[in-house]
Structure 1
Amino acid sequence: MAMEAEAVSPQELALADTDINWDRLDKWRFHMIGAVLFTVQQGLLHPTALVKTRMQVAQSVSSSGSSGFKVFSHVLKRDGVVGLYRGFGTSAIGSLPGRVLHLTSLEVSKHMMMKYTQGLDMLPEVTRVGIANGVAGMFSNLVSCVYFVPLDVICQRLMVQGLPGTINCNGALDITRKVVKAEGIRGLYRGFGLTVVTQSPASALWWGVYGAAQHIMWRSLGYGDDEREKRPSHMKMVTVQASAGMVAGACSSVITTPIDTIKTRLQVMDDYDGVGGRPSIVKTTKILLKEDGWWGLYRGFGPRFLNMSLYGTTMIVTYELIKRLSVKKKE
């Protein structure tokens, strides 16, 4: 999959339309179309994120209902459809600047890594693609965490309003004010270190698996070697990219759910053991293990697996569509 138009291999020529590099994009159109389509995608998946968060924060699996379906039904019965979208407005609007930061750092770093790895002839092409995508995913996550962690803290607190151990607030601004008043700015960065340490490798894993899986799929379908003029149909392109995204999302959810559970509790709970004090990673983990054993670390795994698998599929299809719609017009 080529990132450069010059000096490319036959394989890269065959796959040129499946991987559009940063230089070929109209940046303004890229970010504007991305803002609209990613907000729609986020809206479709928000209920699964809400269910996952509530399952992770509940003081025990038995007290909240052990299945995601029960939590979903409870929220829907008590609050209606609106209840499934708690925190969505704040998340959708607040994510816009973060998406610009994330997408720009992702594309620029991937472009640079593809140029660099082209000189590593001793590595198989699928390995080079995986490494380039993985490094880009890790770097973009590191950059965007500075923006997204405070937003996550606020949105997750909106999602769990009314659960034991949480403080009732009147909207995002009220949450921000109360958190800053109680803990200062660092309160908005609860779980930041844990997020960086875990999500950056997870992002590297996601993008690395996606890049490698997509490359293997294209090669298995015969797009490579000497077939310079062969181009995949739009339907085949979407199918391959969606499949690779689903594989990447599923792999990532299995590996990262325990850390995500700890991080979510750390970010939203204030006094879930009745003794007060600022929660810590060790304290949060011990409470989870005490409540439900090792399975407690996989609270919300079903909704998270569904969320990340669907997210991986829809995100990458949306992302690749945005890139194709944003290609600069030839003069």
Structure 2
Amino acid sequence: MQQKRNIQIIEWEDLDKRKFYSFGVFMTMSIRATVYPATLIRTRLQVQRGKSLYGGTFDAFFKILREEGVRGLYRGFMVNTLTLISGQAYITTYELVRKYASQYSDNNTVKSLVAGGSASLVAQTITVPIDVVSQQLMMQGVKGGEHLTRFRLISDAEAGKSKKFFSQTRNIMAQIFAADGFRGFYRGYVASLLTYIPNSAVWWPFYHFYAEQLSKLAPSDCPHLLLQAVAGPLAAATASTVTNPMDVVRARVQVEGRSSVMETFRQLIKEEGCWGLTKGLSARIISSTPTAIVMVVGYETLKKLSLRPELVDSRHW
């Protein structure tokens, strides 16, 4: 049966690749700068024991702001910007796999699931080493948080104002390599794959599903971009809830230097019960909501701006 209205999906072959990548770098950087404070807060909440440092998302926000200033919310951000590479790898893999999957299935859910999971696999292979370093930098401003990380924390005074970032980054990388060799930079790689592949695989099908359902309820003249902007956060909240337990384990494996996902999982359950698996969930949803809105609006706008000239007049938005 024909649906009331399908929201048109711009496929890989419809894009002017030069425009797509030029605008894409700017969009990715803007998104990361906007949501990084929530990512930092989420990491600190997930790593802490019980409520030893922060009582929750907003308590963490105000404490960090009071004790470390605005710069405290952006610890490790410069290293994290290297994930621009993985961001471009992600969207390229997603679009190419989606195109390839179209040869075998016309089902949008199947194409989105396979492409989303594949894109996450490629992106995490690039992202994990960056995350391992940036997460250690995120913990540098925690007072009394020495027990939360296996590496020595450097004080601002010790590092010096002008060389603080480079000193901390170099020191963390040296400590990781000295302790575990190159393998240390992939600490938590399996946990990351178990977190982000399902997250990405779930997000895309739900995003298209919610957008389609909203299109059936909305007035016929409602802009598609508005429906997509609402569908994005709904899909993000769904995916975050499903995958948060593994995300907590991933954060602890990477920050504390553990090697066993199952051992970390068992200890978390033993110490904090099932509620421990929800740690950082509110921060994750809070960060994923604006991320999803900005990403969806930015990504869909990016694809429209990158549409090949001869196709512009044939599309209805």
* Pair in the same fold by TM > 0.5: yes
Identity %: 31
Which of these residues, 87, 100, 106, is aligned with residue 99 of structure 1?
Answer: 87
Residue 94 of structure 2 contacts residue 118 of structure 2 at CA under 8 Å; is this kept in 1?
yes
Residue 232 of structure 2 contacts residue 292 of structure 2 at CA under 8 Å; is this kept in 1?
yes
Residue 246 of structure 1 contacts residue 309 of structure 1 at CA under 8 Å; is this kept in 2?
yes
Separation of aligned partners in 2, 1:201 and 1:177: 32
Q: RMSD value over aligned CA atoms?
A: 2.3
Aligned to 1:242: 229
List alignment gaps of at least 5 residues for structure 2.
Answer: 155-166, 312-317
List alignment gaps of at least 5 residues for structure 1.
Answer: 1-8, 119-127, 224-231, 271-277
Which of these residues, 184, 189, 195, is aligned with residue 186 of structure 2?
Answer: 189
CA deviations 1:49-84 (Å, max 9, x no partner) are: 1111000111222x1122111111111001111100
1:314 aligned partner, one-letter code: V
Aligned to 1:86: 75
Aligned to 2:161: none
Aligned to 1:205: 202
Q: How does 1:120-199 map to 2 (within 5 A)?
A: 128-161=107-140, 162=142, 163-165=145-147, 166=149, 167=151, 168=153, 170-199=167-196
Query: TM-score, with normalisation over the residues of structure 2?
Result: 0.85
2:69 aligned partner, one-letter code: G
Which of these residues, 36, 40, 48, is aligned with residue 30 of structure 2?
Answer: 40
1:222–1:79 CA distance, 2 compared to 1 (3 A): closer
CA deviations 1:154-182 (Å, max 9, x no partner) are: 11111112422322253333322221121
Bigger shift: residues 302-311 or 165-174: 165-174
Aligned to 1:263: 250
Separation of aligned partners in 2, 1:294 and 1:10: 44
Separation of aligned partners in 1, 2:74 and 2:291: 17
1:117 equivalent to 2:105? Answer yes
Separation of aligned partners in 2, 1:291 and 1:69: 23
Which of these residues, 210, 213, 217, is aligned with residue 216 of structure 1?
Answer: 213
The alpha-carbon deviation at position 116 of structure 1 amounts to 2.9
Bigger shift: residues 176-185 or 194-203: 194-203
The alpha-carbon deviation at position 85 of structure 1 amounts to 0.8
Separation of aligned partners in 1, 2:104 and 2:213: 21
Separation of aligned partners in 2, 1:115 and 1:243: 30
Separation of aligned partners in 2, 1:111 and 1:23: 8
2:244 aligned partner, one-letter code: T
Aligned to 1:307: 287
Separation of aligned partners in 2, 1:77 and 1:32: 38
Separation of aligned partners in 2, 1:202 and 1:246: 13
The alpha-carbon deviation at position 198 of structure 1 amounts to 3.1
Which of these residues, 23, 33, 39, is aligned with residue 49 of structure 1?
Answer: 39
The alpha-carbon deviation at position 321 of structure 1 amounts to 1.1
Query: TM-score, with normalisation over the residues of structure 1?
Result: 0.82
The alpha-carbon deviation at position 22 of structure 1 amounts to 0.8
1:67 equivalent to 2:56? Answer yes
Separation of aligned partners in 2, 1:26 and 1:150: 32
Bigger shift: residues 186-195 or 290-299: 290-299
Aligned to 2:315: none
Residue 87 of structure 1 contacts residue 155 of structure 1 at CA under 8 Å; is this kept in 2?
yes
The alpha-carbon deviation at position 216 of structure 1 amounts to 2.7
CA deviations 1:167-220 (Å, max 9, x no partner) are: 225333332222112101111111111222332122111111112222233344
Separation of aligned partners in 2, 1:135 and 1:213: 18
1:304 aligned partner, one-letter code: R
2:146 aligned partner, one-letter code: P
Bigger shift: residues 183-192 or 168-177: 168-177
CA deviations 1:234-259 (Å, max 9, x no partner) are: xx222111111111101011111111
2:202 aligned partner, one-letter code: L
1:19 aligned partner, one-letter code: I
Aligned to 1:292: 272
Separation of aligned partners in 1, 2:225 and 2:131: 30
Aligned to 2:303: 323
How many residues end up aligned between the 2 structures? 293
1:55 aligned partner, one-letter code: L
